[in-house]
Amino acid sequence: MPRPHVALLLALAAAYGVSHFPGGLDPYLLDVLTGIGINIILAVSLNLVNGYTGQFSLGHAGFMSVGAYLSSAVSLFVAPKLVGELSAAGEVTQGAVFLAALITGGFCAALAGLFVGVPSLRLRGDYLALVTLGFGEIIRVIFQNVEILGGALGLNAIPGSTTLTWVLAVAAVTVFVVHCLVDSTYGRGFLATRDDEIAAAAVGLNPTRYKIVAFVVAAFFAGVAGGLYAHFKLTITPTGFDFTRSIEIVVMVILGGMGNAVGVILAAVLLTVLPEVLRPIAEYRMILYSLLLVLLMLLRPQGLFNFPARRPRG
Amino acid sequence: MAEFLQQLLNGLSLGAIYALIALGYTMVYGVLRFINFAHSDVFMVGAFIGYFAGRIVPEGTLWGGLVVLLAAMAGCAVLGMLIERLAYRPLRGAPTLNVLITAIGVSLLLEYSGQVFFGAAPRTFPAILPSANFTLGGLVLSSNQLVVIVVAVLLMIGLELIVHRTKIGMAMRAVSLNPRAAQLVGVNNDVVISFTFGLGSALAAAGGVLYALNYPSIDPLMGVMPGLKAFVAAILGGIGNIPGAALGGLLLGVVETFVNGSQWSTYKDAIAFAILIVILLFRPAGLLGRATVEKV
């Protein structure tokens, strides 16, 4: 069996194992670990766009909010009609409903990604940055105006289906899918698009298509992460997915070294734990992030955790 | 009809501010081929310099307003050049993506430093100028709106003179056309780029002060929305094209004011991005821009 598949199975087994000693983890640690898992999903999926494909999206929180809202809507409005009261249903039913909700959220986010990506990805990277930023704003305005989704108050009383097992399992699947996608013959096209669009087009690849595929896949996982987040926090508001959230994810990708999976995961862990440690100086956190961005670009543009890679096998 | 003209007038005065900011985006894009994300925060700093200067000068006088405007413009010109010198110049020749990330970093740095130093709570901008309302037929024009339009038109005429009638303006156009060729005929690119940043930032500062006069509540994040919209205006007119930025700004201001006056007013912040997406789909070079082909 290929190594990535073994790694995936091991990770899934570990995630399942975690659920069998919940007494060993205190709630605070559980909270931080869940946060880390969600951030890994977000950072690794954004890495596909910003790292491997060389585009620059600033709207990841926007896709996350689409996933969060739509999956919550499934849990709150659709599921009770199909299976009755959720808390009364069996464990398997609950799990199936949650999975369906997550996947719905992911697909809606992917659809939004397609809708945003098709016009903007035909153009250069800096346009994409602004269009995705604008998209985040539009999404917020729309959610604020849709009464059935709670308007400006947001959605409340979302069932707390998210467990550490779910988060770790989805994180493992995300890392696996992104790794296998980029490592495949097809996936070389992402790297070619990043390295030189014109040269890629000259050898018969379609850069726009690759960009859109990367964008849609990343949006899907952002949507799933949003669903996990909503069922973890139990309440969501339109302003909870603002620009700063997108920036946090971008900083993770850049800190880890764009296109470096291990570095990005490390950065996601670091940047989730850091705010906990730095709680006393929380107001300076964003200043720190922004300085970090500028200094990294000036001094170490390849990222903090990007060490010279071994030659890829095969 | 009177209401239509009134809305048009309000839209033009908002659009004039967008145009001033859009000019900075477009000029910097012209010489450096990148979008200066920090521009919208220079606009914010301009408003804050205006705020602090406005507390020193006596309220309600014309010369006081002029001093405030000039102080903000000078302060931001220096800030713009400083940003270029410290953050962008070391990256000349680096991939576009790195410069873009740096620009975003600078933008966030200004915003969050602003929140720490000025506080996140909105402040009330002093009424620097004497205010009055003029009525023309059924139309009401406030003196602040008049000032916005007059100052914006004067600044744009000034910019046109600088770009087309002076030596440094000629150098700017040369660098924008072809940086390497400009260097070969003796243009000092660094000086021109620095000057362009100064000029663009001064215009953004003027926009900031004028904006704050009309919407007298300022906070460190006030630049984000007008900045984004001005960027849309620059794309709408054709990025890198100076008259295009002015036209795009005015158009966007008018459209937004009409949407705000209609039943869809809650969507007024979304309309600019809808326009952006439509423009990118059907005419990516913008209204006055010319499509270019990248040569290999």
pLDDT digit string (tens) for B4-48? 888 898 899 999 999 999 999 899 888 888 888 899 999 999 999
A128 phi and psi angles, rounded to 5 deg: -60, -45
* Residue corresponding to tokens 């849609």: A216
> Does the pLDDT of residue B249 top 90, yes or no?
yes
> Please, are residues B71 and B48 in contact by the beta-carbon 8 Å criterion?
no
Residue of B nearest to A132 (CA): B273
Residue B82 near chain A (CB below 8 Å):
no
3 state SS for chain A? CCHHHHHHHHHHHHHHHHCCCHHHCCHHHHHHHHHHHHHHHHHHHHHHHHHHCCCCCCCHHHHHHHHHHHHHHHHHHHHHHHHCCHHHCCHHHHHHHHHHHHHHHHHHHHHHHHHHHHHHCCCCHHHHHHHHHHHHHHHHHHHHHCHHHCHHHCECCCCCCCCHHHHHHHHHHHHHHHHHHHHCCCCHHHHHHHHCHHHHHHCCCCHHHHHHHHHHHHHHHHHHHHHHHHHHHCCECHHHHCHHHHHHHHHHHHHHCCCCHHHHHHHHHHHHHHHHHCHHHHHHHHHHHHHHHHHHHHHCCCCCCCCCCCCCCC
Question: Quick check: is B175 in a domain?
Answer: yes
pLDDT digits (tens, 9 = 90+) for B43-76: 999 999 999 998 888 877 888 889 999 999 999 9
Query: How many angstroms separate the CA atoms of B146 and B13, rounded?
Result: 8
What pTM does this model have? Answer: 0.83
Of A58, A116, A138, the CB nearest to B270: A138
Taking contacts as CB-CB distances below 8 angstroms, the residues of chain B near A254 are: 101
Instruction: Tell if the CB–CB gap between B116 and A284 is shorter than 8 Å.
Output: yes
CB neighbours (10 Å) of residue A157?
Answer: 10
* Residue corresponding to tokens 């953004």: B204
pLDDT value of position A36: 94
Query: How many angstroms separate the CA atoms of B143 and B202, rounded?
Result: 23
Question: Quick check: is A154 in a domain?
Answer: yes
Question: Quick check: is B270 in a domain?
Answer: no
- Between helix B242-261 and helix B224-237 the angle, nearest 10°, is 120
Residues pairing with B136 in the sheet: B139
* Residue corresponding to tokens 């300076």: A284
Question: CA-CA distances (angstroms) from residue B93 to A263, B34, B98, B118?
Answer: 26, 12, 10, 35
Instruction: Tell if the CB–CB gap between B102 and A144 is shorter than 8 Å.
Output: no
pLDDT value of position A314: 47
Residue of A nearest to B113 (CA): A287
Please give the tally of structural domains in chain A: 1
Question: Quick check: is A215 in a domain?
Answer: yes
Domain holding A124, by residue range, is: 3-20+29-299
Query: How many angstroms separate the CA atoms of A106 and A100, rounded?
Result: 10
> Please, are residues A192 and A199 in contact by the beta-carbon 8 Å criterion?
yes
Residue of A nearest to B283 (CA): A119
Of A119, A125, A287, the CB nearest to B116: A287
pLDDT value of position A54: 86
Closest CA–CA distance from residue A160 to any residue of chain B (Å):
32
Of A134, A284, A291, the CB nearest to B276: A134
Residue B285 near chain A (CB below 8 Å):
no
Our CA dihedral for A270, A272, A278, A284, rounded to 10 degrees, sits at 100
Supply the DSSP symbol for B125.
P
Structure tokens at B164: 């087309």
Instruction: Tell if the CB–CB gap between B100 and A127 is shorter than 8 Å.
Output: no
> Please, are residues B76 and B204 in contact by the beta-carbon 8 Å criterion?
yes
Closest CA–CA distance from residue B113 to any residue of chain A (Å):
6
pLDDT value of position A35: 92
Residue B4 near chain A (CB below 8 Å):
no
> 3-state class of B136 per DSSP?
strand
The string of DSSP letters for B181-200 reads: HHHHTT--HHHHHHHHHHHH
- Chain A residues whose C-beta is within 8 A of a chain B C-beta are 54, 56, 58, 116, 119-120, 122-127, 129-131, 133-135, 137-138, 141-142, 144-145, 198, 243, 247, 250, 254, 258, 283-284, 286-287, 289-294, 297-298, 301
Our CA dihedral for A65, A71, A72, A77, rounded to 10 degrees, sits at 140
Question: Quick check: is B260 in a domain?
Answer: no
Residue B96 near chain A (CB below 8 Å):
yes
Of A58, A125, A243, the CB nearest to B97: A125
Question: Quick check: is B268 in a domain?
Answer: no
Buried b (16+ CB within 10 A) or exposed e, A166-180: bbbbbbbbbbbbbbe
Taking contacts as CB-CB distances below 8 angstroms, the residues of chain B near A117 are: none
Query: How many angstroms separate the CA atoms of A181 and A59, rounded?
Result: 22
Structure tokens at B173: 């156009």
Question: Quick check: is A309 in a domain?
Answer: no
Closest CA–CA distance from residue B199 to any residue of chain A (Å):
22
Query: How many angstroms separate the CA atoms of A137 and A123, rounded?
Result: 20
Of A123, A258, A283, the CB nearest to B116: A283
Please give the tally of structural domains in chain B: 1
> Please, are residues A86 and A219 in contact by the beta-carbon 8 Å criterion?
no
CA angle centred on A288, ends A286 and A291, rounded to 5°: 110
Question: Quick check: is A267 in a domain?
Answer: yes
Instruction: Tell if the CB–CB gap between B104 and A289 is shorter than 8 Å.
Output: no
Instruction: Tell if the CB–CB gap between B108 and A119 is shorter than 8 Å.
Output: no
Contacts of B181 (CB under 8 A, 6+ apart): B174
pLDDT value of position B161: 92
Q: Which of B37, B100, B113, B275 to mutate to test the interface with A (most CBs of A within 10 A)?
A: B100
Question: Quick check: is B28 in a domain?
Answer: yes
Name the pLDDT band for B204 (thresholds 50, 70, 90): very high
Question: Quick check: is B47 in a domain?
Answer: yes
Residue of A nearest to B277 (CA): A119
> Does the pLDDT of residue B296 top 80, yes or no?
no
Taking contacts as CB-CB distances below 8 angstroms, the residues of chain A near B228 are: 130, 133-134, 137
Buried b (16+ CB within 10 A) or exposed e, B71-104: bbbebbbebbbebbeebbeebeeeebbbbbbbbb
Residue B108 near chain A (CB below 8 Å):
yes
Structure tokens at A144: 């604020």
Q: Which of A52, A116, A138, A239 to mutate to test the interface with B (most CBs of B within 10 A)?
A: A138
Taking contacts as CB-CB distances below 8 angstroms, the residues of chain A near B35 are: 126, 129-130
> Please, are residues A72 and A108 in contact by the beta-carbon 8 Å criterion?
no
Terminal-residue alpha carbon distance, chain A: 15
Read off the CATH number of the domain in which A158 is found. 1.10.3470
Highest mean pLDDT, choosing among A246-255, B136-145, B178-187: B178-187
Question: Quick check: is A52 in a domain?
Answer: yes
pLDDT value of position B206: 95
Closest CA–CA distance from residue A120 to any residue of chain B (Å):
7
> Please, are residues B123 and B51 in contact by the beta-carbon 8 Å criterion?
yes
Query: How many angstroms separate the CA atoms of B167 and B191, rounded?
Result: 12
Of B94, B101, B270, the CB nearest to A293: B101
Instruction: Tell if the CB–CB gap between B34 and A126 is shorter than 8 Å.
Output: yes
Our CA dihedral for A303, A210, A247, A33, rounded to 10 degrees, sits at -80
Query: How many angstroms separate the CA atoms of B28 and A129, rounded?
Result: 17
- Between helix A27-46 and helix A164-183 the angle, nearest 10°, is 20
Name the pLDDT band for B97 (thresholds 50, 70, 90): confident
Instruction: Tell if the CB–CB gap between A283 and B296 is shorter than 8 Å.
Output: no
pLDDT value of position A21: 67
Contacts of A205 (CB under 8 A, 6+ apart): A189, A192, A193
Instruction: Tell if the CB–CB gap between B102 and A125 is shorter than 8 Å.
Output: no
Which stretches of chain A drop beneath a pLDDT of 70? 21-24, 86, 123-126, 307-314
Question: Quick check: is A129 in a domain?
Answer: yes
Domain holding B22, by residue range, is: 13-223
Residue of B nearest to A55 (CA): B97
pLDDT digits (tens, 9 = 90+) for A34-80: 999 999 999 999 999 988 988 888 889 999 999 999 999 998 888 88
Structure tokens at A156: 């409340």
